[in-house]
Amino acid sequence: MSSTRLSALLDSILETCWLAAIVVTPLFFNIYSNNVFERDKWTTLRSIALVMAAAWLIRWVEELVSSRKERGSTAPLLRITWRTPLMLPTLLTVLAYLVSTALSVTPYASLFGGYQRLRGTFSILSCIVVCLVIMDRMRTRAQVDRFITTLVINSLPIALYSFVQRSGRDPLPWGGNVTNRAPSNMGNPIFIAAYMILVAPPTLARVVDSFRSILTDEETGTADVLRAAAYIFIFLVQVIAIWYTQSRGPLMGLLAGLGMGVFLGLLALQHASRREQAFHPRDLPRDLGQGLGFGLGSLVAAGLVAGLLYFAGRALAAPESSLPQWVAMIAAALVLLGTWMVFIVNRMGWRWLWISALATVILFIAGFLAINLVEPIHDWSRRQPWLGRLDDVLQYQSGTGMVRFLLWQQALDLILPHEPLEYPPTMTDPEGHPDRFNVLRPLVGYGPESMFVAANRFYPPLLGHYESRTASGDRAHNETLDTLVITGLPGFAAYLWLFGSLFYFGMRWLGLLPGGRWRTLFLALIVSGALAVTAVTSITIAPNFFGLAIPVGMVAGMFLYLVVRGFTVYWEPEAVAPAHPHFLLLTGILSAIVAHLVELQFCFSCAANRTIFWALAGVFVVLGLQQIEMEEKQVAALQTAPHTKGKKTTKKKRRRRTVPTRQRRAPSPGSPAWLWPSMGAALIGALILGTLAYDFVNNVERLDDPLKIFWRSLAVIAIPASRPPRTSLGILMLFGMAWLMTGLLTVTQMIKQGTFQKHKGEEWAAMAVVLTVSLTVGMAFGLLLAGRHAHVARTQVQTIADAIHMAEQVAGQVSAYYLFLATVVLLGGLALMNENVLPERWGTPAGAAVALVLLVVIPIAAYQLNLRIIQADIVYKQASSWERQDQWPVAIQHYQRAIELAPHEDFYYLYLGRAYLEYATSLDDPVQQNLALRETERVLLNAQALNPLNTDHSANLARMYSRWSSLPAGQEQRQRLMELSSSYYEIATNLSPNNATLWNEWAILYHYSMGDEQGFQRCVDRSLELDPEFEQTWLIVGDVRVEKGDLEGAAEAYRTALDIQPSQPRVWSALGRVCLQLGRNHEAIEALSRALELAPNSSEAWDVHRLLSIAYHQAGLPDQALMEAQSALQMAPEDQRPLVEELIQQLLQRPSEETSP
């Protein structure tokens, strides 16, 4: 409750902020920035969190001063204390992050986040702020309903966008393939699936609640049916979107979460049945038999139907069609669901349906293990498209399973005691130093965002065979291991404590954990489950699986507890307590948390799922403690209590009273009750539509008409430029569905709450308000963006300053979005404030003063800490187009501007150094070239000083000095430059000793630049020791042997490289040349022909044709030789045509003589 209008406004702004957080973080992306997704999501959330923290602080000051003035007030200033559920593990999490950041190996990145993910302490604290504010300020059922409704609606356009991408109708110019596994608004298919599994269970809870209303309410209208249909539609879309991603971790999480939710629901039915009829031990055998019979019988019925439809479909469909399998699977699911629903709706078998579910779960687990581990079942399952990738979840010896195995081993090596990491010498630390806190690392971790550099020493060479060798191992793809690496044992303990607390309090609030011995049993099963699974996996697979084993064991222990609880109620004579008033939603959120925990063990958290998890955790506590009911009763008491002047009372008496403040009144007595909730919902809908407009409104066609830009962005695919534009209404459909669902679900939820009570037609008026306001505001912002695009398109670039100005105009798009977001938050707060009666008093001087100060401080902080780094990334991205045109001075100015905006981001220094190097290479004047190279050196040394443990910086310095030594500007100091290059390769290989690529580069420097054969051999031997199956190493060995005249040895090296990786045209052509020199013409023909098959249009294809012509000629095949020579002539560059023409003349004049290659 608020004592002043300022407090009431801040309360409403806080609610609008948490709604904005759950909308923007999943939905927003920024096509103008280089990173596009994670950095942009995190910075936006962090800005929202700054506003929330400020509003929370102002409100606290306001209420503190107000409570002192009203001495009778006993309302606590904060509703949360250290005794509140989740507070202790949350505080320990905060402490662990702060300590690990203070002692981090990369302090700046740990605090503010690294370039790729930006998931530093600032970002995590922002999520926690959202959670704590919800726990403290969520007060009414209307707020809970708004939260869940917004959460569900926002997931719809995200899921539908994945459908658009999968169908190939996406108008945005993504660089990769988005049709196979659609990444939607997250940039990664795993991330969208991880987000959806958090949203799907609460959506399912709304589906069940809708059906419960239809079946049990005395009056069921059209609104109830429409509401149920809408939630069913959205839930199905969510599940299909998860399936389309084919991400195994989220699929496993979804199955675990929904399975847990269904099992909890069936146990609730058992308890409901027990309230009507007492249970006795003698009833157990009968219920057990009926439960098993029904469970197995329903599975058999579903299987029979599926089998009949499959064989019928196989007879009708094409042999290679997968349609019969899909039809059979869907039919089986419908039969199974329909059978169970008939029993549930008709209140049949409530006593034992949970036993049927238990039998089904056991059979599912057995089937899951069979398709993963048992041959030939596993081999058969891999050919079944309807199984997705569930048949490979437990396969860790190939594919992504092996990637995770190696990453988990890398993380374990980093956790275990080892020699300290060595900081290399830099400009700011000329001597370098070892990690001073190495002995404490198991306790404090390496710091958030530190694994990118800390784990380089432990890089497993085998990983290069399963993913790109340039990929950054910045995560272990297992949240348990990641937490242990970055925050140490305290963070690890807080992580397990947090989830354990969620499970514990969830069981309590759902009435499944009475206390006493049951609490002891629950904790014992959770702990023993984790220990047992860890022991089994460590013995049977490997110790590095403990990160997966502990959370899975906890979930298994909780499920076992529920099974035990289900059986033991037959021996409990006491009456069953009434069900929790929020049982369905609590079950949905708990299911989402279970799904999230399981999913996290196969990947890592992103901005969207981290935000939604913490927000749901806050709502979970509010609902579980039934604080909503208490708050609403207090509000009702205040509204009905007579106003009395406060009298002096003792402290004890004041503690027991709930004394009202001043009389409250409705600010707009004439406004209908539905108006302000409708306006609040409309503005949230406007935020969704406006965010979608920011996502999709672009100007790839360089138009100058805002209306055309807006329309064609949403309805026309104009990429690639080589194809004519074509119509695609997918994005318009996405907008339309989000808009209509906002109106439909908002109004039907208001009908369910009883908001409309006075006049006929109020529902339609509310619908009109929601739809009109949301569409007007959202589309107005979209047109504003289109106008800005048109202005940029009309800009003429004639100078470098013009180019920078245009880049800053593009960067201004995100500033416009931030202003739009701030406007919606403020207007939404004003609208929701009027939903309740308002206090008479406007505010206190102290609260107003703090508000004025923070009104200045927070925008500056948001700009400096969040907006600037995104503007820098946008300017950085603009440089790439100038690089493609070899306009290096223009690109350099862009990179310099990016560094001005984000001076601590070493990533931009790296590219500025590269641009200077390329610019220097393009210069002819040695003096100018030397100046550019000196600037290159300065920039790269600055980059290394910013992040000395980043191997890339040392390696780039080594490459730069090597390049410098080969340029005219470096001839006078060639020896010194080569020695510098070698010294930085030594630093780089000390930082990443298992990186075979660096050893190969160093070997090339030794051989080709320094002439040091011993150094070359040492580096090559080390590279082959690390990774004997790295084809690049054998190519280098082959090239050096050719140079030395060892043609047999070269041929052997080339063949080894091709045995490892056959699809290398460069190696095939090299082998063909060597075989030609050895007189093995047929082998040369085979190798050169293979090279042309792999790269028929490469820049070197003309020379391969020339060599192939010579090989045919020497093999006595003159016709083929002449044909290849003519092909070589057609493809040869102008300066090489005389060579090929001479070959043709030789072939025509002397067809039987030998021709030299």
Is 883 a domain residue? Answer: no
**Bridge-partner residues for 188, per DSSP?**
none
Same domain, 338 and 443: no
Q: What is d(CA 184, CA 29) in angstroms, rounded to the nearest whole number?
A: 10
End-to-end CA distance of the chain: 90
* 3 state DSSP class of 665: strand
List the one residue out of 254, 255, 252 whose CA is nearest residue 401.
Answer: 252
Same domain, 377 and 428: no
The 10s digit of each residue's pLDDT in 98-123 is 999 999 999 999 999 999 899 999 99
Residue 879 in this model has a pLDDT that exceeds 90: yes
650: burial class by Cβ within 10 Å (0-12, 13-18, 19+)? exposed
Cα dist from 493 to 490, 692, 800, whole Å: 5, 39, 54
Q: Which of 436, 463, 480 is the last residue before a domain boundary? A: 480
Same domain, 367 and 464: no
Residue whose entry in the numeric block shows the structure tokens 């099992």: 263
Is 636 a domain residue? Answer: no
Cα dist from 385 to 189, 194, 256, whole Å: 18, 21, 21
Mean pLDDT, rounded, of the chain? 90
Q: What is d(CA 709, CA 699) in angstroms, rounded to the nearest whole number?
A: 6
The 10s digit of each residue's pLDDT in 311-345 is 888 788 777 777 888 888 889 889 999 999 999 98
Q: What is d(CA 135, CA 183) in angstroms, rounded to the nearest whole number?
A: 32
Contact criterion met (CB below 8 Å) for 414 and 460: no
Same domain, 307 and 402: no
More confident residue, 215 or 262: 262
Residue whose entry in the numeric block shows the structure tokens 């790839």: 700
Same domain, 693 and 717: yes
- Residue 157, preceding bond cis, omega within 30 degrees? no
Three-state secondary structure readout of 785-830: HHHHHHHHHHCCCCCHHHHHHHHHHHHHHHHHHHHHHHHHHHHHHH
Q: For the chain, how many structural domains are there in total?
A: 4
The 10s digit of each residue's pLDDT in 419-435 is 999 999 999 999 999 99
More confident residue, 368 or 651: 368
The 10s digit of each residue's pLDDT in 1053-1086 is 999 999 999 999 999 999 999 999 999 999 999 9
Would you state the pLDDT for residue 373? 74
Is 901 a domain residue? Answer: no
CATH code assigned at 1135: 1.25.40.10
- Quick count: other Cβ atoms within 10 Å of Cβ 835? 23
**Bridge-partner residues for 839, per DSSP?**
664
Same domain, 369 and 399: no
Three-state secondary structure readout of 362-376: HHHHHHHHHHHHCCC
Percentage of the chain modeled with pLDDT above 70 = 93
Q: Largest Cα–Cα distance in the chain?
A: 123
Is 206 a domain residue? Answer: no
In one-letter notation, the amino acid at residue 1069 is: S
Same domain, 382 and 407: no
Buried b (16+ CB within 10 A) or exposed e, 346-383: eeebbbbbbbbbbbbbeeeeeebeebbeeeeebeebee
Same domain, 780 and 685: yes
Q: Which of 760, 794, 828 is the last residue before a domain boundary? A: 794
Q: What is d(CA 150, CA 745) in angstroms, rounded to the nearest whole number?
A: 9
List the one residue out of 509, 685, 473 whose CA is nearest residue 589.
Answer: 509
Query: Per-residue pLDDT averaged across 648-657, rounded?
Result: 38
Residue-by-residue DSSP string for 840-865 = S----HHHHHHHHHHHHHHHHHHIII
Same domain, 378 and 412: no
Residue 633 in this model has a pLDDT that exceeds 60: no
Q: What is d(CA 447, CA 482) in angstroms, rounded to the nearest whole number?
A: 10
Query: Per-residue pLDDT averaged across 118-145, rounded?
Result: 96
Is 421 a domain residue? Answer: yes
Is 990 a domain residue? Answer: no
The 10s digit of each residue's pLDDT in 896-936 is 999 999 999 999 999 999 999 999 999 999 999 999 999 99
Percentage of the chain modeled with pLDDT above 90 = 71
Q: Which of 310-324, 699-713, 971-985 has the lowest mean pLDDT?
A: 310-324
Is 316 a domain residue? Answer: yes
Cα dist from 279 to 194, 268, 270, 573, 852, whole Å: 41, 14, 10, 8, 64
Same domain, 1151 and 1075: yes
The residue range of the domain holding 435 is 395-480
Same domain, 402 and 325: no
Contact criterion met (CB below 8 Å) for 693 and 786: no
Residue whose entry in the numeric block shows the structure tokens 């013409």: 1081
- Residue spans of beta strands (DSSP E) within 330-436: 422-423, 433-434
Would you state the pLDDT for residue 653? 38
Is 693 a domain residue? Answer: yes
Q: Which of 388, 416, 447 is the last residue before a domain boundary? A: 388
Same domain, 403 and 301: no
Q: What pTM does this model have?
A: 0.92
